[in-house]
Structure formats: structure tokens, C-alpha cells
Chain A
Amino acid sequence: MKPLYLITTVIVGALLIYGTLDMPRWGDPHSPASTHVSPYYLQHSLVHTATPNVVTAVLADYRGFDTLGETTVIFTAGMACILLLRRRRKG
């Protein structure tokens, strides 16, 4: 079975790399994200949220649901640590 795993990994990897070829270059000023989303946040975040730090405004306000998920991930990690590492009760 080992060669099959290797072939599958190589094929999937090649497909993923092929998929990235169409993506805009890193930091490209003409990519859709840089022409629509970023200028909107930079121009409006102070007016909308009264928060000078754009990163905080995007993280906690515009992308608040994403940050809720991140916090849930961290919470789940803590709960998993308790479940895996707690002292076993006798018996």
C-alpha cells in the first residue's frame, strides 16, 4: 500500500500547486483583495468603529465571527488537555 500513498500524495500536491498558479502574486496591488476589500477597510474603519487600529477593527468587528471561532479553538484545546492529561481516578 505504501507506493499508493506516495502516488496519491504527489498527485494531490501537484494539483494544489497547479491551483496556486492562477492566484495573484503575493502583495499584488491589482489583486481583487487589494482593489476592493483593503481600501474599504482602510477608508471606513475609523468612521465605522471609532478604532484607530485597523487590525483590531477587522479582527474583532468586520471578522468577528472568525475570531469567535479562533477563541473556540483555543478553548477546545484547553478542554482537550484536561481530558487527556488529568490524573486518572483509582478504580
Chain B
Amino acid sequence: MIQKSDDVIVRTVARSLMPFILIYGLYVVMHGHYSPGGGFQGGVILAAGFVLLTVTQGIERTRQHMSQKTACVISSVGLLIYAGIGALCLILGGRYLDYGRLSQLLQVDQPTARSLGILGVEIGVALGVMAVMCIIFFSIFAADETE
């Protein structure tokens, strides 16, 4: 089990870097329309923030922010957002994941609706990837604790 780091510099720097890592992760997710990036990459950057927090602050402190159960719920919600947007298009009379149909719901023209559909799907992917990375990391710790 990883303990809290003894070095005050390491702990302080990691703690002050954490919000910037999360902001950058969100930027990569939201800016996927214009630059390299998107759900998968942004989700991994968000998870890297939590991994850094675990390595420097100890697993107990990280569990207050992101427990195994929370990560499970978030990963399911992420996948549900993706599949839900697909199903929503189906309900609105289109084909599965045909985002153009969302234009009726969002009151915008069809290309903008598809753009927003892509954004929604990317957010779902980012939530899923972030939570699954945290789950894998925490699971390895939990397996380590029993020894």
C-alpha cells in the first residue's frame, strides 16, 4: 500500500498541480472538435490527476474524493450517456447514434446538432475512461493491501 509521501515539497507541488491537470483534461475533452484530443485522451489525463494524488497523498486521502464505488458509478454513467444519446436518436425517429435527429430536441440546425452529439458522446467516453483507469489503479492497490 502506498503511504502518504514524507516530502512536503512533493505533497505541496502535487496538490497545487491537481486542479491544473483536471482543467487540462477537461480542455482536451472539450477541444476535441478543433484539435487532437477527445474522450479517450482527456479521460486518461483526468485519471492521471487522481493517480498523482494517490501516489503523493496516500490512498486514504484519495478515497475521500474518488472511491472505488464512485468510480464504478461514474464509469457506468459514462457508458450510459453514450448509449443513451444513441437511444435518444432512435426515439426521435432516426437511426441509432444518428445525432442529426437531436436537432428537433435542441432547436438547432442539423450540423450543429451532430456537433453537439459528438460532444455529448465524447463526455461519456471521457467519464468512462477516467473511471475505469481509477478502478484499475485502485484494484491493484486493494490486491496489494491483502498481502
Taking CB atoms and an 8 Å cut-off, the chain A residues in 58-91 that contact chain B are 59-61, 64-65, 67-68, 70-72, 74-75, 77-78, 81-82, 84-88
Taking CB atoms and an 8 Å cut-off, the chain B residues in 61-116 that contact chain A are 68, 71-72, 75-76, 78-79, 82-83, 86, 96-97, 99, 111-112, 114-115
Does B131 belong to the interface (CB within 8 Å)?
Answer: yes
Cα–Cα distance between A85 and B135 once the two chains are bound (Å): 10
With both chains docked as a complex, state the minimum distance between the C-beta of A22 and any C-beta of chain B, in angstroms: 33
A50 pairs with B121, CB closer than 8 A:
no
Chain B residues within an 8 Å CB radius of A87 = 142-143, 145-146
With both chains docked as a complex, state the minimum distance between the C-beta of B65 and any C-beta of chain A, in angstroms: 18
Does B132 belong to the interface (CB within 8 Å)?
Answer: yes
Does B124 belong to the interface (CB within 8 Å)?
Answer: yes
Does A24 belong to the interface (CB within 8 Å)?
Answer: no
A48 pairs with B132, CB closer than 8 A:
no
Chain B residues within an 8 Å CB radius of A57 = 118
Cα–Cα distance between A85 and B139 once the two chains are bound (Å): 6
With both chains docked as a complex, state the minimum distance between the C-beta of A44 and any C-beta of chain B, in angstroms: 10
B139 pairs with A86, CB closer than 8 A:
yes
Helix, strand, loop or mixed for chain A's interface?
helix
B96 pairs with A67, CB closer than 8 A:
no
Number of interface residues of A (CB under 8 A): 31
A55 pairs with B121, CB closer than 8 A:
no
Cα–Cα distance between A57 and B116 once the two chains are bound (Å): 11
Chain A residues within an 8 Å CB radius of B115 = 49-51
Interface of A with B (CB < 8 Å)?
A: 47-53, 55-57, 59-61, 64-65, 67-68, 70-72, 74-75, 77-78, 81-82, 84-88
Interface of B with A (CB < 8 Å)?
A: 32-36, 38-40, 68, 71-72, 75-76, 78-79, 82-83, 86, 96-97, 99, 111-112, 114-115, 117-118, 121-122, 124-125, 128-129, 131-132, 135-136, 139-140, 142-143, 145-146
A-B contacts, 11 of them at CB < 8 A, read A52-B33, A53-B34, A55-B36, A59-B38, A64-B121, A75-B128, A78-B71, A78-B135, A78-B136, A86-B139, A87-B142
Q: Which 4 A-B pairs have the closest CB atoms?
A: A78-B132, A50-B111, A85-B139, A64-B97
